[in-house]
């Protein structure tokens, strides 16, 4: 089932790079083809391929959630991921270093299941979000006036520092820190969470995944849109940000 295995790793920790090297050797011993991500390959003195150009059946990620989100935006939903936790936060992790080879044996024997995660799409010509889309001002001290709509029905109008629209996977990340609820990843829903609203009327919302969410900033200033804490872009007025369920999904084993 899996013949070409892509290996990538965080590069700022020697234990992660060393483990990735052992995984490469393990894959070769299994008679499978390892494909190293370019930066990791350079560290190990081998040939590699950039993730946005790689072609494989599975990506083994050695690192924490930051590494996973970086990989997600590089592969763009093309290949399933299997994550080995080497980092402080491992929400996306499927195994730990001491169990990685036993786990890979099971995967190569067909003993696994797919976990498909919803993603968010916007009308801003930006990548899909696995965790969340954040809309805020460039200057942290400034507040912005916004209106929030769900399928053209206004649900909130307030002054806020920012607004976060999150997936169930992202519910335990930025949205949770903003006061939203944890949502079971099996529930197809999205969260709308204000960051420091001026009034007490704008509370976090949970809405079905088949709706379209519109964020309309009213203030005359520049806005920063941040995707998964990884990709950002600045926008000016007039601005009407629309967010809905993407056809793409991120798949974990």
End-to-end CA distance of the chain: 13
Reply yes or no on whether 65 is catalytic. yes
Q: How far apart are CA 103 and CA 126, in angstroms?
A: 35
123, 113 contact by CB (below 8 A): no
Tokens of 174: 């930025």
DSSP E strand stretches across 96-161: 115-117, 120-122, 132-137, 144-150, 153-160
Pick the catalytic residue from 12, 65, 115, 151.
Answer: 65
Q: Are strands 58-63 and 81-85 parallel, antiparallel or unpaired?
A: parallel
130, 228 contact by CB (below 8 A): yes
Task: Please name the residue that has the structure tokens 């379209």.
Answer: 212
Largest Cα separation within the chain, whole Å, is 62
Task: Please name the residue that has the structure tokens 């089932």.
Answer: 1
Q: How far apart are CA 187 and CA 235, in angstroms?
A: 32
Annotated active-site positions, please? 65
């Amino acid at each position: 089932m899996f013949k070409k295995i892509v290996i990538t790793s965080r590069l700022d920790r020697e234990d992660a790079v060393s483990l990735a090297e052992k995984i490469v050797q393990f894959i070769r011993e299994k008679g499978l083809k390892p494909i190293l991500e370019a930066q990791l390959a350079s560290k190990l003195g081998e040939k590699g391929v950039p993730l946005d150009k790689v072609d494989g059946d599975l990506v083994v990620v050695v690192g924490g959630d930051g590494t996973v989100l970086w990989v997600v935006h590089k592969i763009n939903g093309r290949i399933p991921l299997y994550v080995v936790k080497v980092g402080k936060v491992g929400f996306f992790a499927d195994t730990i270093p001491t169990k990685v080879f036993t786990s890979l044996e099971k995967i190569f024997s067909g003993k696994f299941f797919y976990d498909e995660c919803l993603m968010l799409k916007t009308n801003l010509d930006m990548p899909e979000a696995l965790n969340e889309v954040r809309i805020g001002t460039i200057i942290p001290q400034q507040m912005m006036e916004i209106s929030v709509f769900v399928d053209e029905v206004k649900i909130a109008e307030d002054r806020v520092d920012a607004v976060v629209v999150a997936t169930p996977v992202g519910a335990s990340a930025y949205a949770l820190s903003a006061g939203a609820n944890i949502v079971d990843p099996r529930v197809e829903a999205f969260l709308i969470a204000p960051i420091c609203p001026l009034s007490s009327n704008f509370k976090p919302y949970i809405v079905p995944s088949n709706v379209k969410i519109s964020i309309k900033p009213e203030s005359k200033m520049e806005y920063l849109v941040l995707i998964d804490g990884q990709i950002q872009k600045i926008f000016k007025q007039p601005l009407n940000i629309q967010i809905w369920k993407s056809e793409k999904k991120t798949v974990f084993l």
